[in-house]
Structure 1
Amino acid sequence: MKIFEAAREFVRRDARLVERRLFATVFEAADPGGVVDALRGYQNADGGFGHGLEPDKRCPDSTGLDVETAFDILLAAGVHDDDLVRRACDWLQSVATEDGAVALASPAIEGYPRAVHMAEWTYVPGLNPTAGLVGRLQTMGVEHPWRDQAAAWCADALAKGFPDDAHAMHESLEYLEHTSEPDVTAVREWLPKLAHYRADAADPEYGVTPLHFAPTPDSFWRQLFTDDQIEGHLDRLIADQQEDGGWAITWEPPGVAATLEYRGIVTVAALRTLKAYGRL
């Protein structure tokens, strides 16, 4: 069975509703309003998102990580819902520091099953996820007082230097691409110094790859990488498709359901990247 057809069967069989609606929108011209409808089930009365929208913690409480996941889904679907996003921004403002920074999660996750890596470090406000949230709002063209305050905090934080982790760097680049003159050379020279950056397509370990930084050929940060680097990671992405049609993950979620949910997420993302680069 071909790459796309096998992956489609996996999504239809094993992915959760929100990924099935996203798949239908991206690949089958379905109404993107269905994606928004699916997301509403994850939005809390406080405006934030929870209920394991990002599956590594099963906590119903709102978290910054779940809000970011919601924004990613909206961007992937090419749809915007003013009320849904505004309420999420209001929640971000309510939990931010005085300077506007937010954290990935909170101690509320400790009362529910969670992956081992979802620990105390996720309670600390930082560029991950603040910069990524700001960048996504800028991409969506959403204005909000929290966005402006958080953008100023990000500028101050990055003026002190780049982060040393690839996840935080990825978030920072989401913000930096919307600034007036991002220093592409400085970013390129910093990448090899990052923890969890997987430059070598042959490396089977967990990590952030060039395709995460440049998931489409017209991504702003595509200029960081050579054609050979991108092509090598695209080859690896194709090779990593599993016999059941989906893509595997390289970490341990908190359970079987969460594992399938995350596999649905990365499978749809893999298909979107392969489609964008003309590999389907």
Structure 2
Amino acid sequence: MRVLHATDLARAEQFMRLNARIIDRRRFALHFRGGTAAPVVAALGAYENPDGGYGHALEPDLRGEGSQPVPAQHALQFLHEAGADDDPAVDRVGGYLASIAGDDGGVPFVLPNVRDTPHGPWWQTTDDPPGSINPTGTLAGMLHRAGSGHPWLGPATAFCWRYLDGPAAEPGAYDVLSVLTFLDHVPDRDRAEAAFNRVRDTLAAAAGSDHQGPLDFAPAPDGYGRRLFGDDLIEAGLDALADAQDDDGGWDIAFPSWTPVTRPEWRGLVTVGRLLTLRAYGRLKP
């Protein structure tokens, strides 16, 4: 069984110093060096817009200043990591999502204003994009996790249940991630369990891509994603994840970098995530 130790964590820290954004350096310090939460929240504030959403390349492949739905996921995750689920920024995110949601409660994957700023070539949309389970499920799940009472959560939750209760869909890998986050945190646990059991095989069949493996869907052992994979796959994935630490101390990405800055930005974000996964499974022993 492959385990990382203090020397490996020190190499990761040096990688973060040399390459990562301040937000991810603050996250590393919080999780692995006894840092406090306030610097994480302060660093996140630089990405927030007056509408309550987030932009400014918080999602590295969206380089524009304006708010988009997916960067709000990063913001809610970082606030949660900082123990700041009660921060006013959480409800401001809810207000932003309500402002862009359709009548059905869903929010689009990306808004048309993406065309006006530099962005990864895979961020494409129609002129009037419909609500999508990705990212509506993730955002609703994260707001439920935060204990938010924002009014958007009502129609957003109904949107997600309609998706799960409707005709069998063929989800993409990111749809699976969104469904898992929703089911992990929606308050109606009996309904979540029944829905998971009903769609489990469909989720398992779609839980993977050319740059995603089992641990991307099961980053910790206590979520529904873990139940999609057998023990052998998880253990092999953890060995491979530990071995994937590069000589420079960081973890690399398995998808294209379309402009030079995105690779180090993504690597910093991913390196913190990989270390958190290894620790969650008992594979980090600093």
1:267 aligns with 2:279: no
Q: Deviations for 1:185-216, whole angstroms, at most 9, x for unmatched residues?
A: 4343223432x615xxxxxx312x22122211
Q: Which stretch shows the higher mean deviation, 112-121 or 235-244?
A: 112-121
C-alpha separation in 2, matches of 1:5 and 1:37: 25
For 1:174 and 1:138, how far apart are their aligned partners in 2? 10
Q: Please state if 1:2 is matched with 2:7.
A: yes
Alpha-carbon contact 1:113-1:254 (below 8 Å) kept:
no
Normalising to structure 1: TM-score of the pair?
Answer: 0.91
Worse overlay, 2-11 or 266-275: 2-11
State the SS of the aligned residue for 1:2. helix
Work out which of the residue numbers 127, 131, 136 in structure 1 matches 2:142. 136
2:23 alignment partner in structure 1 = 18
1:169 counterpart residue number = 176
The one-letter code matched in structure 2 to 1:156 is: R
The one-letter code of the counterpart of 1:214 is: A
Query: Match for residue 186 of structure 1?
Result: 198
CA–CA distance in structure 1, aligned partners of residues 263 and 25 of structure 2? 16
Residues matched between the structures, number: 272
For 2:78, give the aligned amino acid: I
Give, in whole Å, the separation in 2 of the partners of 1:222 and 1:154: 21
Q: CA-to-partner distance for each residue in 1:4-59, whole Å, 9 max, x for gaps?
A: 12111111211000001111111122110111111111000111111110101101
Change over 3 Å in CA distance of 1:31–1:233 after alignment to 2: same
Q: How far 1:175 sits from its partner (Å)?
A: 1.1
Q: Which runs of 5 or more residues in structure 2 are unaligned?
A: 1-5
Instruction: Tell me if the contact between 1:134 and 1:147 (Cα under 8 Å) persists in the aligned partners.
Output: yes
Out of 49, 65, 69, the residue aligned to residue 64 of structure 1 is 69
Q: CA deviation at 1:115?
A: 1.2
- Give me the whole-angstrom Cα distance separating, in 1, the residues matched to 2:211 and 2:225: 21
Q: Between 214-223 and 129-138, report the one with greater CA deviation.
A: 214-223
Alpha-carbon distance in structure 1 between the residues aligned to 2:21 and 2:86: 21
1:101-140 mapped onto 2 (5 Å cutoff): 101-120=106-125, 123-140=129-146
Give the 3 Å change call, closer, same or farther, for CA 19–44 of structure 1 in structure 2: same
Q: Is the CA contact (8 Å cut-off) linking 2:171 and 2:203 kept in structure 1?
A: no
Instruction: Specify whether residues 103 and 37 from structure 1 end up closer, same or farther in structure 2 by C-alpha distance, changes over 3 A only.
Output: same
Q: Give the whole-Å Cα distance in 2 for the aligned partners of 1:64 and 1:80.
A: 18
Deviation, 1:2, is: 3.5
Q: Does 1:151 align with 2:157?
A: yes
Q: For residues 223 and 27 of structure 1, do their structure 2 counterparts lie closer, same or farther at Cα, with a shift above 3 Å needed?
A: same
Task: Determine the C-alpha separation between the residues in 2 that align with 1:76 and 1:118.
Answer: 27
Residue 252 of structure 1, aligned match among 256, 260, 264: 256
Name the Cα RMSD after superposition. Answer: 1.9
Distance (Å, rounded) in 2 between the aligned partners of 1:65 and 1:192: 23
8 Å contact kept, 1:57–1:254? no
Residue 240 of structure 1 pairs with residue 247 of structure 2? no
1:145 aligns to what SS in structure 2? Answer: coil
| In structure 1, C-alpha distance between the alignment counterparts of 2:73 and 2:182, rounded to whole Å | 13
Q: What TM-score, normalized to structure 2?
A: 0.89
In structure 2, what residue type is equivalent to 1:94?
S
Match of 1:231 among 235, 244, 254: 235
Alpha-carbon distance in structure 1 between the residues aligned to 2:169 and 2:9:
38
Structure 1 unaligned blocks of 5 or more: 199-204
